[in-house]
């Protein structure tokens, strides 16, 4: 009785259901550790944990199931060991693996009553979303960024899925802002990281995702000049290792290029012109600066200190590259270095170059610590946000398990003086969502015999009645469309379509097309005299709604706020850079205050047992 007493009192009849439930938690990091503790203490019967990673020193400040002695061990296994002690009645299974591995197939997902996502990247989230839709298992999706958190309940056919709303992609900057007219610290940091560092130690700037070339045509002349500058820098790169190399780089990027920019007519009418730096003058001042300055990452370095770190890190990185070259470890490919916020040499170089450039343009300089956050695109993870978000995940799960989806909500956690938690009603699936507004089924295939032609001609056209215009794709890309019929004689195996993978059929007819058909492949050896492909169950494929069809609301109130709906996900990996974040926070705060006016969060009396629950109905 002892251990069950309080969960029983507060959950009433749901408690025994929970005790018998088998659930899955994907990700055992910041949210995952908190969530696992909650799930174990709530008394779920069997909990499976999947995490591909090992424990890192930097996880310990908030991932409280892990200790120093666990560094380099599997997160899933250690989380199981640590949380298991909280409640020996709970069975925990740990999988040190990627959730995308084939053993975690639709059948396996079907074995869970509910799935919790505690992930940190879009790709894995999308995958679990897709699997839960295919298995028809409810998913509690969550994410945090700094003080912001979010919980979304996803149920096939009843709510929006993770992919119903387009997700933001990381922010990029116009090339001209970065290369010619920076006005904020982040512009200089992106310059240091994506231009200077890559031109000297990596491949070319054209590959940098932070640089947006879409404005190129408007600035063709200037861009041509910038290209010439890069070429000249590449030539200097050939002198790497020589005594003169640091001076050559410095004078090129902090003096000559700046003088050229300064001489450009019309560019500085409304802006303060940049001031080139003088190598001899600053190097004199930097004579007394010791190399220990690079370790002082919380202070803002002086011009001379930045100079000293720049020269020193340039030497360190040059010798690393020289060594790689000498060892010939990269075969025919030329060796390169890549920026990593946790690699001190690369961070020192980017921090010092960014600050030197800031001096030139009269922009505020930053500490190495700040630059690390901005260059690494990280927003600090906050243990409290994770803990609150994990708690909200479980409250939402209770509603799903009570079959009370009407009461389940989309929950937002924001840093606000008015109300920290705000909610929105769940919305029905978007009729044009390519992931959830589809027909799903399982296709039984004898992959040793079946060809793509068996699928396209016999199955889709003759059996299901598809017309001429449609495409078939696997996770690797398009296999067939009316212009691509080369693959038709090939067998499934040759096309890389195996058991537990998916194929998607997109009807491209103009007239009344069907919704996308997503087929999970189930491999089976079928008798020689039978068809090599057949459906596991009878199928009724819906037609796509006409564009003007109004969105059904299933009786839910349509949320008053739309502000963040198209841009719901924010997690550290996908988050925008600093300045943009401030703007977004503003938006979320605005929304939370509207929700607050609606009085969405209340304390209620649980009718089942008289216990007080804080709920978010
Ligand atoms: N495809 C995947 N399969 C299984 N686990 C995954 C997958 N992708 C991410 N994860 C796990 O999800 C967890 C997310 O946790 P969190 O956001 O706290 O990240 P972290 O790596 O622990 O910390 P940080 O990124 O802040 O250094 C991580 O433990 C990560 O290993
Ligand atoms: Zn969807």
In a domain, 444, yes or no: yes
29 lines ligand 1 (CB under 6 A): yes
Residue 208: give its domain's CATH number.
Answer: 1.10.10.520
Tell which wins on pLDDT, 258 or 270.
258
- What does R_g of the chain's alpha carbons equal in angstroms? 29
Mean pLDDT to the nearest integer, 97-122: 95
For residue 563, the enclosing domain spans: 2-168+381-430+558-615
Q: Are residues 125 and 11 in the same domain?
A: yes
Output b/e per residue, 507-540; b: 16+ Cβ within 10 A: beeeeebbbbbbbbbbbeebeeeeebbeeeeeee
In a domain, 571, yes or no: yes
Q: Are residues 350 and 387 in the same domain?
A: no
Residue 27 marked ligand-binding: yes
Q: How far is the CA of 462 from the centre of ligand 2 (A)?
A: 30
Mean pLDDT to the nearest integer, 34-48: 97
60 lines ligand 1 (CB under 6 A): no
pLDDT of residue 488 exceeding 70, the answer is yes
Q: How far is the CA of 567 from the centre of ligand 2 (A)?
A: 14
Which residue owns the Cα nearest ligand 1 atom 11? 27
pLDDT of residue 402 exceeding 50, the answer is yes
Contact 304, 343 (CB under 8 A): no
Is the Cα dihedral 169, 175, 179, 181 positive or negative?
negative
Q: Are residues 9 and 139 in the same domain?
A: yes
Mean pLDDT to the nearest integer, 579-599: 35
Q: How far is the CA of 50 from the centre of ligand 1 (A)?
A: 10
Ligand nearest to the CA of 120: 1
Q: Are residues 134 and 28 in the same domain?
A: yes
Of 290, 295, 479, nearest to 372 by C-alpha is: 295
Q: Are residues 477 and 601 in the same domain?
A: no
75 lines ligand 1 (CB under 6 A): yes
Where are any strands of DSSP class E within 146-238?
Answer: 148-154, 173-174, 211-212
Q: Are residues 26 and 61 in the same domain?
A: yes
Euclidean distance between CA atoms 450 and 441, whole angstroms: 18
Q: Which own/partner pairs from 167-171 qualify as long-range (CB within 8 Å, at least 24 positions apart)?
A: 167/122, 167/567, 167/568, 167/569, 167/574, 168/567, 168/569, 168/570, 168/574, 168/576, 169/574, 170/209, 170/210, 170/377, 170/574, 170/575, 170/576, 170/577, 171/210, 171/576, 171/577, 171/580
Output b/e per residue, 59-68; b: 16+ Cβ within 10 A: beebbbbbee
80 sits in which H/E element: helix 75-84
Mean pLDDT to the nearest integer, 201-227: 65
Helix-then-strand count for the chain, H and E:
19, 18
Name the pLDDT band for 451 (thresholds 50, 70, 90). very high
Q: How far is CA 241 from CA 92, 167, 237, 402, in A?
A: 55, 44, 9, 68
Which span out of 225-234, 500-509, 605-614 was modeled with the highest average pLDDT? 500-509
Q: Are residues 472 and 596 in the same domain?
A: no
The domain boundary, picked from 348, 375, 402, lies at 375
Tell which wins on pLDDT, 560 or 42.
42
Q: Apex CA 343: angle with CA 340 and CA 344, to 5°?
A: 130
Q: What is the 3-state secondary structure (H, E, C) of 83-142?
A: HHCCCCCCEEEEEECCCCCCCCCHHHHHCCCEEEECCCCHHHHHHHHHHHHHHCCCEEEE
Structurally, how many domains does the chain consist of?
Answer: 3
The residue assigned the tokens 């370095």 is: 301
Tell which wins on pLDDT, 476 or 82.
82
Mean pLDDT to the nearest integer, 21-35: 98
Active site residues: 176
pLDDT of residue 317 exceeding 80, the answer is yes
Ligand nearest to the CA of 57: 1
Euclidean distance between CA atoms 202 and 193, whole angstroms: 10
Residue 610 marked ligand-binding: no
Ligand 1 atom index nearest CA of 58: 27
In a domain, 547, yes or no: no
- Which two three-digit tokens encode residue 6? 């309080």
Lowest mean pLDDT of 47-51, 284-288, 399-403, 542-546, name the range.
Answer: 542-546
In a domain, 541, yes or no: no
Ligand nearest to the CA of 518: 2
Q: Are residues 312 and 450 in the same domain?
A: no
Bridge partners (DSSP) listed for residue 425: 409
**What pLDDT is recorded for position 443?**
93
Of 427, 412, 419, 422, nearest to 144 by C-alpha is: 412
Residue 87 marked ligand-binding: no
Mean pLDDT to the nearest integer, 487-491: 94
Residue 161: give its domain's CATH number.
Answer: 3.40.50.720
In a domain, 542, yes or no: no
Q: How far is the CA of 53 from the centre of ligand 2 (A)?
A: 28
- Which two three-digit tokens encode residue 490? 């090939």
The average confidence (pLDDT) of the chain is 84
448 lines ligand 1 (CB under 6 A): no
Ligand 1 atom index nearest CA of 53: 31
In a domain, 515, yes or no: yes
How distant is the alpha carbon of residue 73 from its chain centre? 24
Which residue owns the Cα nearest ligand 1 atom 28? 29
Ligand nearest to the CA of 149: 1
**What pLDDT is recorded for position 213?**
59
48 lines ligand 1 (CB under 6 A): no
pLDDT of residue 569 exceeding 50, the answer is no
Q: Are residues 255 and 163 in the same domain?
A: no
Residue 33 marked ligand-binding: no
Q: Are residues 328 and 453 in the same domain?
A: no
**What pLDDT is recorded for position 143?**
96
Residue 326 marked ligand-binding: no
For 134-187, write each residue's pLDDT tens digit: 999 999 999 999 999 999 999 999 999 999 998 876 667 777 888 889 999 999
Q: How far is the CA of 372 from the centre of ligand 1 (A)?
A: 20
In a domain, 546, yes or no: no
Q: How far is the CA of 95 from the centre of ligand 1 (A)?
A: 14
Q: Are residues 189 and 264 in the same domain?
A: yes
Close Cβ partners of 120 (under 8 Å, ≥ 6 residues apart): 27, 29, 30, 143, 571, 572, 573
Where are any strands of DSSP class E within 527-586?
Answer: 533-535
58 lines ligand 1 (CB under 6 A): yes
Tell which wins on pLDDT, 270 or 365.
365
In a domain, 545, yes or no: no
Q: Are residues 405 and 461 in the same domain?
A: no
Ligand 1 atom index nearest CA of 378: 26
Contact 269, 181 (CB under 8 A): no
Q: What is the 3-state secondary structure (H, E, C) of 295-312?
A: HCCCCCCCHHHHHHHHHH
Name the pLDDT band for 593 (thresholds 50, 70, 90). very low
Residue 523: give its domain's CATH number.
Answer: 3.10.290.20
For residue 161, which phi and psi values (nearest 5 degrees)? -100, 180
**What pLDDT is recorded for position 215?**
53
52 lines ligand 1 (CB under 6 A): yes
For 351-393, write each residue's pLDDT tens digit: 999 999 999 999 999 999 999 999 987 677 899 999 999 999 9
pLDDT of residue 553 exceeding 50, the answer is no
100 lines ligand 1 (CB under 6 A): yes
């Amino acid at each position: 009785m002892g251990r069950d007493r309080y969960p029983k009192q507060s959950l009433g009849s749901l408690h025994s259901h929970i005790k018998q439930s088998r659930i899955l938690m994907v990700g055992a990091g910041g949210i995952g550790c908190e969530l696992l503790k909650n799930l174990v203490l709530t008394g779920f019967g069997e909990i499976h944990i999947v995490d591909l990673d090992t424990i890192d020193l930097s996880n310990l400040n908030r991932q409280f199931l892990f200790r120093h002695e666990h560094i380099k061990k599997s997160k899933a296994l250690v989380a199981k060991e640590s949380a298991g002690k909280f409640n020996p009645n709970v069975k925990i299974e740990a999988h040190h693996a990627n959730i995308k591995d084939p053993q975690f197939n639709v059948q396996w997902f079907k074995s869970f009553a509910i799935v919790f996502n505690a992930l940190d990247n879009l790709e894995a989230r999308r995958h679990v979303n897709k699997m839960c839709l295919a298995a028809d298992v409810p998913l509690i999706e969550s994410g945090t960024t700094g003080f912001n958190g979010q919980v979304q309940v996803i149920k096939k056919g009843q709510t929006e899925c993770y992919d119903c709303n387009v997700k933001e992609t990381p922010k990029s900057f116009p090339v001209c802002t970065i290369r010619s007219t920076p006005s904020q610290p982040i512009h200089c940091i992106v310059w240091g990281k994506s231009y200077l560092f890559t031109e000297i130690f990596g491949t070319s700037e054209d590959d940098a995702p932070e640089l947006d070339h879409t404005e190129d045509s408007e600035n063709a002349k200037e861009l041509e000049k910038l290209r010439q500058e890069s070429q000249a820098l590449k030539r200097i790169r050939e002198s790497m290792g020589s005594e003169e190399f640091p001076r050559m780089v410095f004078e090129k990027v902090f003096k000559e290029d700046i003088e050229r920019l300064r001489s450009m007519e019309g560019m500085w009418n409304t802006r303060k012109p940049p001031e080139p730096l003088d190598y001899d003058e600053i190097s004199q001042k930097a004579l007394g600066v010791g190399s220990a300055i690079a370790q002082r990452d919380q202070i803002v370095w002086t011009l001379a200190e930045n100079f000293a770190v720049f020269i020193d890190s340039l030497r360190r990185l040059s010798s690393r590259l020289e060594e790689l070259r000498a060892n010939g470890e990269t075969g025919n490919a030329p060796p390169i270095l890549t920026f990593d916020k946790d690699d001190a040499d690369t961070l020192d170089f980017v921090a010092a170059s960014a600050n030197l450039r800031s001096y030139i343009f009269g922009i505020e300089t930053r500490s190495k610590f700040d630059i690390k956050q901005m260059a690494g695109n990280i927003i600090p993870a906050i243990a409290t946000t994770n803990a609150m978000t994990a708690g909200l995940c479980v409250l939402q799960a209770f509603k799903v398990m009570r079959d009370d989806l009407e009461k389940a909500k989309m929950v937002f956690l924001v840093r606000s003086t008015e109300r920290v938690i705000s909610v929105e009603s769940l919305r029905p699936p978007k009729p044009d969502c390519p992931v959830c507004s589809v027909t799903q089924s399982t296709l039984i295939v004898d992959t040793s015999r079946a060809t793509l032609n068996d699928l396209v001609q016999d199955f889709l056209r003759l059996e299901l009645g598809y017309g001429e215009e449609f495409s078939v794709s696997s996770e690797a890309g398009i296999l067939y469309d009316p212009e691509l019929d080369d693959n038709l004689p090939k067998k499934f195996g040759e096309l890389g379509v195996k058991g537990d993978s998916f194929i998607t059929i997109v009807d491209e007819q103009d007239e009344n097309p069907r919704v996308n058909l997503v087929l999970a492949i189930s491999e089976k050896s079928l008798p020689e005299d039978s068809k090599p492909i057949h459906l596991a169950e009878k199928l009724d494929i819906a037609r796509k709604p006409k564009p003007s069809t109004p969105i059904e609301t299933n009786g839910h109130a349509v949320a008053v706020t739309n502000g963040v709906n198209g841009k719901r996900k924010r997690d550290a990996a996908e988050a925008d850079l600093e300045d943009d974040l401030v703007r977004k926070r503003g938006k979320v705060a605005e929304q939370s205050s509207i929700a607050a006016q609606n009085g969405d969060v209340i304390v209620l009396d649980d009718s089942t047992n008289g216990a007080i629950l804080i709920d978010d109905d």
